[in-house]
Chains A and B, each alone.
Chain A
């Protein structure tokens, strides 16, 4: 294939070791890529919507994950194909950017590819298809903007937020108690939200899980939860009005970084060294005590002697606390992380109304609750559940719900879910298609068809007749010119998504369409695939 001839007619080789490489060109390459992309989308298609099914993934070490979160499925799928990897990236970027709709974006991209294949068969050049898609996506995004609605909420009235989060959670396994989880997610986001700047730092929300109990026991803690216990078993288990010293230096003899040697050659030196050592421990504890700390949280370990001295002076302490947790504690309690004992001052102590140790189950598992902090802007969601997989899945679901709530605080616009937004866009794109002269018109129509595939998949997964349901809803929307009609997945009896309270965020939907279009454009532009065959 990649063989050329010079002016004397002698062949020369362009690609090194070309016979060991497989190569696809032209329309074959596009077809192969489209097929791969479709295959990935097909896997996710059945996970879409409130009645979507889960996937069971067995990792390389035999660990089992059960999930219906698109991003997680794709990430763990061990994909080899290049185009399939692009789809994985697509879902991941939706996850980073928006946090929700990771399945929808892949299904959308798959549908676009499917339609593109049809256009290619007609003989339309892939670039023209790509351009048509670009135009259509612009139309769709603008239309979304038009049909979106602002909705009002404030710190006291967060019911609309809860409703939106419930839409997200309803497609997960946790939908049994979606109401309470949605409330927890919204309260958590509102607690850390900066409503002035309209921003939410999700790092301030820590999600902890512990196996056991049931999902209903999941709680929101206005404070920090640390999976550690007191360093000495006889220290008090509960401290009220704690002043916390947050240290990153160990309660151990100093270990200077530079190499040094302390030579002992006489008995006197031995004695002085011993005295100094004792004094050192004493001083460390005394310093903490002097500044008025009533609890010490340390990143490192304690020497036995120091540990006892702390206990002796009635200064409870926690050791081996991780760096991230330490930072969160510092933020929550308004304290400063102190790297050296000399720098301890009363102003650098963190304050918390209540610190207590709580034990779980029959095994010796204890956790430390730090509550009523000076700065309440750090919260923890503590998940309980029947088994490990359940907890992991709940974590992912809560993460999605948190992202949705954050997006709403950033941008108050919403569109209606249940496929309503897609159907409305499809109608708008279809109508706009006729205005464009040229071959792109066909691509734009294809885009409209592709948009229909999302509600179609929803209907299919819910056990409804997909074509019948979709056409009924579509005609209803067109007739009444109201973009609120969607697929009635839960068999409630009404198509009106306003009544069902099924919302999605505007930016989430827009992002889905834009990202999917971009990836599809990229895939369509590839006309040559060169890959090293087995090595």
Chain B
């Protein structure tokens, strides 16, 4: 009796070995795709979007690359997902996590072909991951108490993160900027408070961190261009025609004179509002919404600087920086908190005029102005800087650091290898495989830099056999070296997240023995 088909048309089912093969191949393909971007000498990718304009992105940020891929293979989607989460959670290591997961699966494939059950592999991987984490925990360095040392740690981490990006030429400059910006946040992880303004022109080296606050807006015509000791009212209110908000209200008149009267009343109302605002005793007014010509003129008459249409984040940041509250009603001028700053002036960056608030009261927010040759460079610089900022802000909270340059992987691999030797049963193969997958990361870094990876990794392994060794791969000089001396550091939190989520993802894909694909939903517009 032939079995009727159970699924709907177009739905497909893959089982057992085939399913496993399909997911392994998909996941490894994705890992291989981003593999060449790993490390300080990693290459970039060009992404061309299929949307209108075919906009082009040049990047070597793993998460950005994977986000823009159209992937059909479900296992590959799992990898894309972990890279995205890594980006959201710690901001860096988005490539490493995918490469590690890919290597784990590659090793698992070999084990599966030699007839080891996936569940046994998972059990081995779990033990290995646990052991690897403990190995890292034993070797972490924590300089939280010593502020000066902590700052130098942060600098080193920022430089290590930046050296794999487009900013590597000026990494010291940018690392300094990033560390300063993050330390101003005083432990908060809200990176919104750091504003990044991109202005094409100049070179990357001309980028700077501004202690004050820069608003990408123009000052209204006829208003003062420079205000000292500014009192700022930050507002979110309609300054166009102030509508009557009561539902169903409409104006119905029967003669021209009445129209004029109503118009007059409307103007009066606006004037009232402006007067109320002026009663706060301010000399600068920043509004989130549009300011029409009429009120703007009134402000100009009163010698008040009015800035319209600052976006929501701009308003929020301005509130943070100047310490003013965001106001929407103006009836009680005495109780509204105004923002203060020493100086407001219009500055020129490249060809654009920007408004610069300096000498602000609370220094929680700051602005970074990026300069560069083209939009692509700026976009990539922003992504790189964002990675560095993320890592730093996480490190401020969890101040444990590790050495970089493949050092943590080697430390973990060594411990895991030892565990494999002690473990009885089939699991030990899986544990051994885990350590091989870990070693693949320094191998890839060396390969990408065009070095003899086999030679270097073997050297490194030998070095690591001695207790308390700090050896890692120095890609710049192309040799094994002491990482502590070269100042290559990484954040513990990033490494831990890479290790755990890569293991988790590999485990998830390994457990699958059947893939059921539903028929793609029919799009209406194809009809």
Residues of A near any B CB (own CB < 8 A): 28, 31-32, 35-36, 38-40, 43, 46, 51, 53-62, 64, 66, 68, 73, 76-81, 84, 173, 176, 211-214, 232-234, 252-256, 259-267, 270-271, 273-274, 276-278, 280-281, 303-305, 307-309, 311-312, 359, 361-364, 385-390, 463
Once the chains bind, are B250 and A261 in contact (CB under 8 Å)?
A: yes
| Residues in B whose Cβ lies below 8 Å from that of A256 | 247-248
Q: Which residues of B contact A363 (CB under 8 A)?
A: 88
- Decide if A307 touches B328 in the complex (CB within 8 Å): yes
Q: Is there contact, CB below 8 Å, between A58 and B517?
A: yes
Residues on the B chain within 8 Å of A28, using CB: 1
**CA of A293 to CA of B223, assembled, Å:** 44
Least CB distance, B146 to chain A, in whole angstroms: 26
User: B residues within 8 A CB of A54?
Assistant: 508, 511-513
Give the residue among A76, A307, A359, A387 with the most B Cβ atoms within 10 A: A387
Please indicate the chain B residues that have their CB under 8 angstroms from the CB of A385 in the complex: 504
Which of B3, B8, B390, B508 makes the CB contact (< 8 A) with A78?
A: B8
Least CB distance from A385 to B in Å reads 8
Residues of B within 8 A of A280 (CB): 246
Closest to A258 in B: B248
Given contacts A36-B6, A388-B81, contact A364 B246 (CB under 8 A): no
B349 CB, nearest partner CB in chain A, Å: 26
Q: Does B207 sit at the interface, judged by CB under 8 A? A: no
Q: How far is the CB of A181 from chain B (nearest CB, A)?
A: 15
- What residue of chain A has the Cβ atom nearest to residue B11's Cβ? A78
Shortest CB distance A279–B (Å): 11
Q: Is B19 an interface residue when CB atoms closer than 8 A count as contact?
A: yes
Q: Which segment of B147-155, B184-192, B400-408 sits at the interface?
A: B184-192
Instruction: From known contacts A76-B518, A79-B6, infer whether A311 and B325 are also in contact, taking CB-CB under 8 Å.
Output: yes
Closest to A273 in B: B244
Which A residues touch B7, using CB under 8 A?
Answer: 77-81
- Across the interface, do B521 and A60 meet the contact criterion of CB distance under 8 Å? yes
Q: Please, which residue of chain A has its CB at the minimum distance from the CB of B119?
A: A51
Q: How large is the interface on B (under 10, 10 to 19, 20 to 34, 35 or more residues)?
A: 35 or more
A249 to chain B, nearest CB (A): 14
A-B contact count (CB 8 A): 247
Among B266, B394, B511, point to the contact of A362 (Cβ < 8 A): B394
Q: Are A387 and B4 in contact (CB under 8 A)?
A: no
Q: When the two chains form their complex, are residues A53 and B511 in contact, meaning their CB atoms are under 8 A apart?
A: yes
B90 CB contact (under 8 Å) in A64, A259, A281, A362: A362
- Complex contacts, A303 vs chain B, CB 8 Å: 245
- Chain A residues near B261 (CB, 8 Å)? 266-267
Decide if A68 touches B251 in the complex (CB within 8 Å). no
List 21 A-B residue pairs with CB atoms under 8 Å apart, sorted by A's residue number: A31-B1, A35-B3, A51-B119, A55-B515, A57-B517, A58-B516, A66-B78, A76-B516, A80-B11, A173-B508, A176-B126, A232-B326, A233-B316, A252-B245, A265-B251, A265-B253, A267-B261, A267-B262, A307-B328, A362-B89, A463-B120
Separation of A266 and B261 alpha carbons in the complex (Å): 8
Q: B250–A262 contact, CB under 8 A?
A: yes
Least distance between A305 CB and chain B CB atoms (Å): 5
CB distance from B36 to the nearest CB of A (A): 24
Segment 53-80 of B: residues with Cβ below 8 Å from A: 72, 74-75, 77-78
Asked if B89 and A212 sit within 8 Å, CB to CB, the answer is yes
Interface-facing stretch out of B39-47, B329-337, B479-487: B329-337
The CA-CA distance from A307 to B327 in the complex, in Å, is 9
Whether the Cβ atoms of B319 and A233 lie closer than 8 Å is yes
New A-B contacts (7) at CB < 8 Å, excluding given A254-B247, A304-B236:
A58-B517, A62-B72, A211-B88, A214-B500, A386-B82, A386-B85, A388-B81
Task: Assess A84 versus B6: contact at CB under 8 Å? Given A173-B508, A308-B329, A361-B88.
Answer: yes
- Given known contacts A79-B7, A267-B264, A362 and B516 CB-to-CB distance under 8 angstroms: no
Tell whether, in the assembled complex, residue B519 and residue A212 are in contact, meaning their CB atoms are under 8 Å apart.
no
Is the Cβ of A77 less than 8 Å from the Cβ of B516? Answer: yes
Expressed in whole angstroms, the Cα–Cα distance for A78 and B250 within the complex equals 54
Q: Does B424 contact A (CB under 8 A)?
A: no
* Pairwise interchain contact A253-B513, C-beta atoms closer than 8 A: no
Q: Is the CB of A62 within 8 A of B520?
A: yes
The residue on A at minimum CB distance from B266 is A270
B518 touches A60 (CB 8 A): yes
A36-B6, A53-B512, A387-B81 given; A264·B329 CB < 8 A: no
Residues of A within 8 A of B77 (CB): 62, 64
A35–B515 Cα gap in the complex (Å)? 21
CB distance from A21 to the nearest CB of B (A): 15
**Residues of B contacting A61 in the complex (Cβ-Cβ under 8 angstroms):** 520-521
Verify B6–A46 contact, CB threshold 8 A: no
Q: Which residues of B contact A276 (CB under 8 A)?
A: 246
| Bound form: Cα–Cα A46–B512 in Å | 10
Residues from chain A with Cβ under 8 Å of B3 in the complex: 35-36, 38-39
* Residue B237, interface by CB 8 Å: yes
- Contact A234–B319 (Cβ < 8 Å): yes
Instruction: Collect the chain A residues with CB atoms within 8 Å of residue B327's CB.
Output: 308, 312
- CB-based contact B19/A253 at 8 Å: no
Q: How many Å lie between the Cα of A147 and that of B78 in the bound state?
A: 44
Contacts of B335 in A (CB 8 A): 312
CA distance A423 to B4 in the complex (A): 32
Interface residues in B158-174 (C-beta closer than 8 Å to A): none
User: Could you tell me if B245 and A79 are in contact, using CB atoms closer than 8 angstroms?
Assistant: no
Residues in A neighbouring B192, C-beta threshold 8 A: 364
Q: How far is the CA of A309 from the CA of B236 in the complex (A)?
A: 12
Q: Which one of A61, A214, A260 has the highest number of Cβ atoms from chain B below 10 Å of its Cβ? A: A214
How far apart are the CA atoms of A363 and B393 in the complex, in Å?
Answer: 12
By beta carbon, the residue of chain B nearest A35 is B3
**Complex Cα spacing A28 to B4, Å:** 12
In whole angstroms, what is the CA distance A266 to B328 when docked?
A: 27
Q: Which residue of A lies closest to B391 (CB)?
A: A362
B511 close to A40 (CB less than 8 A): no
- A278 to B242, alpha carbons, bound, how many Å? 12
User: Are B500 and A267 interface neighbours, CB within 8 A?
Assistant: no
Let me know if B237 and A304 touch, CB within 8 A: yes
Find out whether the CB atom of A267 lies under 8 angstroms from the CB atom of B265. yes
A274 touches B189 (CB 8 A): no
- Highest count of chain A CB atoms <10 Å: which of B188, B393, B521: B521
| Contact present for A55 and B513 (CB under 8 Å) | yes
Instruction: Say yes or no: is B467 at the interface (Cβ < 8 Å to chain A).
Output: no
- A60-B519 in contact (CB<8A): yes
Convert B243-279 into 0s and 1s, putting 1 for each residue whose CB lies closer than 8 angstroms to a CB of A.
0111111111110001001101110010000000000
Q: Please report the C-alpha to C-alpha distance between residue A308 and residue B507 in the assembled complex, in whole angstroms.
A: 50
For B521, give the chain A residue with the smallest CB separation. A60
Q: Give the chain B neighbours of A389 by CB distance below 8 A.
A: 78, 81, 508
Residue of B nearest to A270 (CB): B265
User: Which B residues lie within 8 Å of A234 (CB)?
Assistant: 319, 325-326
Asked if B118 and A53 make an inter-chain contact with CB atoms under 8 angstroms apart, the answer reads: yes
Q: Is B5 an interface residue (CB 8 A)?
A: yes
A362 touching B393 by the CB < 8 A rule?
yes
- Does B399 touch A at the CB level, under 8 Å? no
Measured CA separation A60–B8 after assembly (Å): 12
B514 at the interface (CB under 8 A from A): yes
